[in-house]
Amino acid sequence: MLAAFSITPIGSDESVADVVADAVRIVRASGLPNETNAMFTNLEGGWDEVMDVIRQCTELVGREAGRASVVVKIDYRPGAPDDRMHAKVASVESRLRAPG
């Protein structure tokens, strides 16, 4: 499955980069395919693996900031091939390159 999630620290200073970086460290240490952009972190793997990483990140942010607001979007497609994170983008890009 693919998950896009964002965790916003509430109750910390104006800059949340340190807390967010700590959460991204958890994501990267998971070994699951992931990408972080300006608004979300994308994560790919089995349901339990992905949800456990999101839980760990949420709990860390909650401890460090006092409160966490979480947004999660999931694309659940049983039996789908691996690396959908990149395959979905490649599919759109190929259509953009096609004439007309």
Looking up residue 27, the CATH number of its domain turns out to be 3.30.70.930
| Domain ranges, residue 16 | 2-97
- Could you give the CA distance from residue 63 to residue 79 in angstroms, rounded to a whole number? 36
If you average pLDDT over residues 20-30, what whole number do you get?
97
Is the model's pLDDT at 13 over the cut of 80?
A: no
Instruction: Pinpoint the alpha helices (H) of 11-46.
Output: 17-29
Name the domain count of the chain.
1
Structure tokens at 23: 């959460």
pTM, to two decimals: 0.88
- Could you give the CA distance from residue 98 to residue 46 in angstroms, rounded to a whole number? 33
Average pLDDT, rounded, for the chain: 93
16: amino acid identity, one letter: V
Is the model's pLDDT at 15 over the cut of 80?
A: no
Is the model's pLDDT at 12 over the cut of 70?
A: no
Lowest mean pLDDT among 11-15, 43-47, 67-71, 84-88: 11-15
